[in-house]
Structure 1
Amino acid sequence: MLFEPQYRHDNKAARVAMTLFRLTQAIKKMTQSESDQAGLSPAQIQGLLFIYHTRSDVASVGNFADMIGSSHVTAVKIINGLMEKEFVQKDKHPSDKRITLLQLTEKGFVMARRLQDWGSSLEEVMSQMSDEVLDHLELGLGSVASTLQKNGHLVVSEPCLGCMHFQPNIGDGNEPHYCNLIKKYLAHEATLKECPEHTPKLRGE
């Protein structure tokens, strides 16, 4: 029914949903153009940036699959393609051999650094809007993302700050922070990386 014009005319949720669908098509076109310039697919670039920005102990194949909304098999194929280009290497998780962790090679690290501006064409479009419009968009799209996340359709990775599991400055030395979820002390640099298990604090906490 979403693609039926008359149905959308009488249904606000359907109109918004169609707008979001059309936006995803436009974003796909824009990122594909940027990816072609790098000689990689959008999924491969997402893989490199996922490993680059994610805390090393949670940069797994499974979490990558969740992040891009794909099956585990598809994620493995993407990573294997990056391994063939000598951008990525795999290692077993030290405490759970069932989990495969991903690391950038030196060559992959250089490429990931080069890709930090990937997606800039979309940012340039957004920068043409007024602050007032962006404020409304941020609020509305935040609600969409939150609902999708609650329904299991979206994984939102963020750094430790603001997570209900994060306890800052309770340790000593090189690992001053603590994560209640994984029961582990963390270096400050590690807490600045993204984590797919990030759970925002409730207001007032």
Structure 2
Amino acid sequence: MGKVSTFSPAQQAENTPSKIVVALERLSEAFRVLLWQEATQYGLSPIQIQVLTFLLHYPEEQRTVTSLALYFNMTKATISDAVKSLEQKNYLVRKPSQTDTRSHSLHLLKEGRAIAKKVEHFAAPMQEAVAASPAKEQGVLLEQLMQLIYQLNQQEVITHQPMCFNCEHYASGRKGPYCEELGISLKQGNLRVDCPVFEAKG
């Protein structure tokens, strides 16, 4: 006999991990709803909004199809299709990479930057809901979610994540975890999910 489904109400009633998994699914649904609402409003697909938002904030060396595919856990073909559509809308252009002549970096055009600044706030309702909790509770939640992400990464469910637990600079001392690169304590609220000084463990 197989395992009882996480999504069975009877299973959830007696199993806390099942309740948490279902709660996370509801949050992912909320994220998708917000993304689709924004996409519909501006005539874009959800992944196109995510690509525009990424290009607005990340450095040139990361603005490639390969980096986007890894970041969003999607195939290069899917990302390439989204990029091609955004090119046709005159939102971005490809330019030869300065560090790798075989690759191209993606650059937002004026109209693309303007639309990116409009759509990047699609998750604001979720942020407001989180911000309503006390700071200490936010820190606890952040650490728990990062531990879950880390475990899923170790199981190869999702790609490598540029966060503290995977980083060469993450260390533990008598006063708790800290970042050797930034010289700061990494107690809960200071943890980073996506860090600009991230360096993968050797």
TM-score under structure 2 normalisation?
Answer: 0.71
Distance 2:26 2:54 in 1: 25
Q: Deviations over 1:6-63 (max 9, x none)?
A: 3334443332222111210122112222333333222111101111111101211011
Q: Which residue of 2 aligns with 1:130?
A: 134
Q: Which residue of 2 aligns with 1:24?
A: 28
Secondary structure of 2:102's aligned partner: strand
Report percent identity of matched pairs: 20
Secondary structure of 1:101's aligned partner: strand
Aligned residues: 173
Distance 2:128 2:35 in 1: 13
Q: Which residue of 2 aligns with 1:4?
A: 8
Question: Paired residue for 2:75, among 71, 76, 82?
Answer: 71
Q: Is the 8 A contact 2:162 2:199 kept in 1?
A: no
1:15 equivalent to 2:19? Answer yes
Distance 1:80 1:48 in 2: 12
Q: Deviations over 1:51-103 (max 9, x none)?
A: 11111012110111111111111111111111111111112323433333211
User: After the TM superposition, which parts of structure 1 deviate over 4 Å for at least 4 consecutive aligned residues?
Assistant: none
TM-score under structure 1 normalisation?
Answer: 0.70
The within-5 A match list for 1:85-164 is 85-152=89-156, 153-157=158-162, 164=169
Q: Which amino acid is 1:68 matched to? A: F
Question: Paired residue for 2:54, among 50, 56, 62?
Answer: 50
How has the CA–CA distance of structure 1 residues 37 and 155 changed in structure 2, closer, same or farther, with 3 Å as cutoff?
farther
Distance 1:69 1:105 in 2: 25
Q: Is the 8 A contact 1:145 1:154 kept in 2?
A: no
Which runs of 5 or more structure 2 residues have no equivalent in the other structure?
170-179, 182-193
Distance 1:119 1:157 in 2: 21
Distance 2:130 2:115 in 1: 26
Distance 2:7 2:102 in 1: 43
Distance 1:80 1:89 in 2: 9
How has the CA–CA distance of structure 1 residues 102 and 157 changed in structure 2, closer, same or farther, with 3 Å as cutoff?
farther
Secondary structure of 2:122's aligned partner: coil
Shift of 1:126: 1.9
Shift of 1:200: 7.1
Q: Is the 8 A contact 1:55 1:194 kept in 2?
A: no
Q: Which residue of 2 aligns with 1:187?
A: none
How has the CA–CA distance of structure 1 residues 67 and 104 changed in structure 2, closer, same or farther, with 3 Å as cutoff?
same
Q: Deviations over 1:144-195 (max 9, x none)?
A: 122233333045457xxx874xx98xxxxxxxxxxxxxxxxxxxxxxxx975
Structure with more contact order per residue of length (Cα contacts < 8 Å, sep ≥ 6): 1
